[in-house]
Amino acid sequence: MPILTQIARPEWRATGYGIMNLVSISCGGLGDWGFGMLRDRHVPLDVIFGAFAGVALLSVFIVMMIRPDPKLSASR
């Protein structure tokens, strides 16, 4: 997770890793739940996978908008 070391101060990095893990695990669980709910409503698989791919692409664009702080990345 090198991007976290570029945007967070050293004293907050462990907290940042914890929050990132919480969000990651929560998104995985909610994704499974949502997938099952959509399958129970007989939504076709291609529509479900397309929706999940769209969410993944959106997250890529959000991550690409993060700008590292030059002072923090030079302190390694």
- Of 34, 35, 24, the C-alpha closest to 59 is 24
- pLDDT tens-digit readout, 12-44: 999 999 999 999 999 999 999 999 999 999 999
Structure tokens at 70: 């030059």
Question: Above 60 in pLDDT, residue 1?
Answer: no
48 versus 72: the higher-pLDDT residue is: 48
In one-letter notation, the amino acid at residue 57 is L
Q: Which long-range contacts (CB under 8 A, 24 or more apart) does 10-15 make?
A: 10/75
**DSSP characters over 1-22:** -HHHHHHS-GGGHHHHHHHHHH
pTM more than 0.85:
no
Domain boundaries in the chain?
24-67
